[in-house]
Chains A and B, each alone.
Chain A
C-alpha cells in the first residue's frame, strides 16, 4: 500500500513538473519584437510604494517616463500599461494594484472608453497572462474573453500555446526561468524618430456615445479610488492617432465635471508641452519617442505637483538608491538604442 502511494505521488510530481516545464517553455517570452506581453508581470518585482500609478494602454506606457517624474519632481510612479488595455482590464489591474499599495494618484488614459466589448485574444493575452492569480485576474479574464476563448486556456496556458512547439527559438530556452525587464517602471522606451506626416482625420462614426459597459467600468474605477482614498486623474495622452473625437472628449469632460475629477486632454496642450511631431514620435504620431515622452512627463510632473499636491520624495535613501540603479539602466538603454540607430545608418 505504502509502495503504491509512493508510486502515485512520484508519478504525479513527474507529471506536474513535466507539464509545468513544457508550459513555461511554450509560453511566449515577449523578449524581442512584441515586448508588450512582458510588461504586466514586471510590476511584481517592484517595491510597492508608489505615489502615482498609471493604468491604461500604449498611450501611457509609451508617452510617460517615470524616470523623468522622479528625476525632476521626486515622484515615485509606475505604469501598469499593456497593449490595447481595455477599461475592464484597467479596472481589475487597479483593483489588484491597490491590494498591494495605496498611491496618492491614479492616472487613467481614457482612450479605451471607445471599446465596449472584448476585442482581440492576442491583446487579452498580453495583459492577462502576466497577472498573478487573484480574483482580480479571474474577473478580468471573464470580462475580457472573446467568444472563441476558454477560461481554462488561461488557467493552463499550455492548452493555448501547445502548437508553439515548432516555433520555439533560442529565446524560449534562454528566458525559460527568468526574463529581462523590457520597461523602466512600465515605460517602454523608443529613441528613434519617425515624423508624423499626413495624420488621417477620424472617419465619421455612426454613434459617438461611449458604451454602457465602458461607463460601468469607469464608474467602478472612480468608486474604487473613492473607496481607497486615491485621487483619480483622467488623461488623454497626446497621441495623434487613433483619432480622439470631440464628441468623445465632451463626454469625458462632462463625466469629470459631474464627479469632480481632473481631466487633461493633452492633445489640446501640445504646444504648452513643447511637443514637435517631426521629432518627438517614433511612429508617425501614434506614440511619442523618448524625447516626446520626457517632454510630456516634465509637463505632467508639474501638474501632479501643483494640481494634485504631490510632494517630492527625493532624499528618501532607499528610493534614491533604487532610482539611481534604474537611471543607470535607463541611460544604458538610451545609449544602446542610439548606437543601434547609428549602426543601421552606417549600414545603409
Chain B
C-alpha cells in the first residue's frame, strides 16, 4: 500500500477517524491492528519477518532485564557478604550473560536482514571472484523478496535492544506495546528510525480529539503530498530519461541529471517523512524529525546532522561510539599512538570507526558496490574536511570573508553540489560508469545543449519545468520561513479566510498538478527500497 495510493488515503483516514471514535484505552491496540493490516498489504508472508523481530527482541530483552533484576536482588540480599571485588566479579558475569543475549538478538535480526537483503549481493561477488579464475561455475541467485521496511524496523528494534542492554530504560513488559513500537504503520516503510524512549512517550498515551492537532497533522500530510506528487514524481520523469541513457546524456546532461536527482530525492524523501509525521501528529503521536533543512548545510558533516537525522544518530550511537570505545579499539589506539606518534596515532582509530560507520551506512542503503562506494566517499570527504580544519582556520584568519553572506551562500552551494555529485552513485548502474559520467562533466563541454531544447525531450514539457521551478521556489521559501519557527503555526495565526485559502489552494494544486493516476502511476518512495 503506497502512500500515494487511494487505498492508503482511505486506510489512513479510517484509522484516524476510528482512533478517536474508539474508547481511549483501546487506541494503541487499535493502532497495532492497523499497523499489521497495513503491513499485511505488502504481502502476508512478510508478517513472518516483523513478528520474528518482535518476538525475538521481546523475549531476549525481557531476559536481559530479568538478569539485571536478579543481579540487583542478589546484590541486595548479599550486601554484607560480598566485598567490592566480589560484587564487581558478579556484575561482570551477569553483564557477560546480558552481552551474549544481546549478541544473540543482533545475530538473529541483523542476520535475518543480511540474509534477505545481502545474499544475492554476496553471490554476485562470489561469482565475480570465480569469474576472475576463469571458471564458468557460478552460483545461482536466490529468489528472495526484500520485505517492506525491514531495514527500518530491524534497526529501530535493535536500537531498543541495545538501549535495554545498556540500562537506558527497562525492557517493555507488554509484548503488544513492543509490537506496536516495531510496526507503527506511518513510519514502517521509510522511517524515521525512532527511539523507544522517545516514541513511547506518546505512542501508548490516550489521546483526546483535538481539531488543532488533527488539522496541523493533515496540513503536514498535504505538504508532503505536494512535495512527492507535484515535485518528486514529476522530476523523476526527466531523471529516468537522463540516467537511462548514459551514453547519450553525458557532460552537461549528467550535471543536469545530478541536480535533478538532488531535487527529486529531497522532495521524495522529505515529502514521505512529512506524510509520516503528519499522520502520526493527527493521531496525537510525536515522531522524531528526520530533516532540518539539509540543503542549507554549510558542510557535509552539518548536512549529515540535518539529513535522515535518525539514521545518522543511530549509526553514531550504536556503531561509531561502541566501536570507538571498545576494548580492541582502545588497545589499537594505544598501539598507534606508541608506534606512529600522537598526531597520527590518535586519528587512526577515529578514521577506522568512521570507515566502519560509513561502510555500514552505504550497505544499509542498498546491496551494491555503488552504495558502499557512496558511503566511503562520504567518509573520505568528511575526514578530509576534518583534517583540513586547521587550514581553514588559518585561511579565515588571513582572509576575512567567513561572515559574509556571499561566503555562506558559497558554502551552501558547494555542499549541495558535492552531495549531489556523491549521489550520482544512486543513479548509474555501476561504480565505473558513475565515475565516467562524473568525468564527462569536465571533459565534454556541451553546456549549450542544455538550452537548445534538448531538455524538452526528457518527457517533460515547458509547463512541467515551470511547475518544477515554481515548486522548488516554494519549498525554498518555506524552508527560509521555517528558520523562524513553524510555518503551519504562523499560518494558523492568520485570519480564517487566509488559512482556508492557503490550505485549500495547496490541496487544489496537489489535485491538479500532482503526477498520479493513469498515465503517471506515482512511483514508490525512493527510501521504501531500503
Contact = CB atoms under 8 A, between A and B. Distances in A.
The finding on whether chains A and B are genuine partners in a shared complex, rather than unrelated, reads yes
B511 A159 contact: yes
Interface stretch (A144-152, A172-180, A234-242, A272-280): A144-152
A150 B2 CA distance: 14
Interface string B504-515: 100010011110
A15 B511 contact: no
A150 B511 contact: no
A148 B518 contact: yes
B85 to A, nearest CB: 71
B517 A153 contact: yes
Nearest to B496: A7
B517 A160 contact: yes
A163 B511 contact: no
Contacts of B504: 14-15, 18
Contacts of B512: 22, 162-163, 165
Contact of B518 (A15, A19, A121): A121
A149 B518 CA distance: 7
Find the residue from B463, B504, B521 having the highest chain A CB count within 10 A: B504
B351 interface: no
Interface in A3-26: 7, 11, 14-15, 18-19, 22
A158 B517 CA distance: 10
A152 B512 CA distance: 16
Nearest to B9: A152
Interface string B308-337: 000000000000000000000000000000
Interface in B485-530: 496, 500, 504, 508, 511-514, 516-521
A166 interface: yes
Interface in A134-191: 148-150, 152-153, 158-160, 162-163, 165-166
A286 to B, nearest CB: 27
Contacts of A15: 504
B6 interface: yes
A121 B518 CA distance: 9
Contacts of A162: 511-514, 516-517
Contacts of A22: 508, 511-512
Interface residues of B, number: 16
Contacts of A14: 500, 504
Contacts of B520: 163
B235 to A, nearest CB: 16
A267 to B, nearest CB: 36
Interface in B51-91: none
Contacts of A148: 518, 521
B492 to A, nearest CB: 15
Contacts of B519: 163
A179 B519 CA distance: 27
Find the residue from B463, B500, B517 having the highest chain A CB count within 10 A: B517
A304 B520 CA distance: 49
A159 B463 contact: no
Nearest to A122: B518
Nearest to B500: A11
A149 B500 CA distance: 32
Contacts of A152: 6
Nearest to B519: A163
A18 B504 CA distance: 10
Contacts of A18: 504, 508
B511 A158 contact: yes
A102 to B, nearest CB: 38
A165 B514 CA distance: 11
Contacts of B517: 150, 153, 159-160, 162-163
Across the A-B interface, the 8 shortest Cβ-Cβ residue pairs = A152-B6, A165-B512, A162-B512, A166-B463, A148-B518, A162-B511, A150-B6, A11-B500
5 contacts: A14-B504, A148-B521, A162-B511, A162-B516, A165-B512
Given A152-B6, A165-B512, 12 more contacts: A11-B500, A18-B504, A19-B508, A22-B512, A121-B518, A148-B521, A153-B518, A159-B516, A162-B511, A162-B517, A163-B517, A163-B520
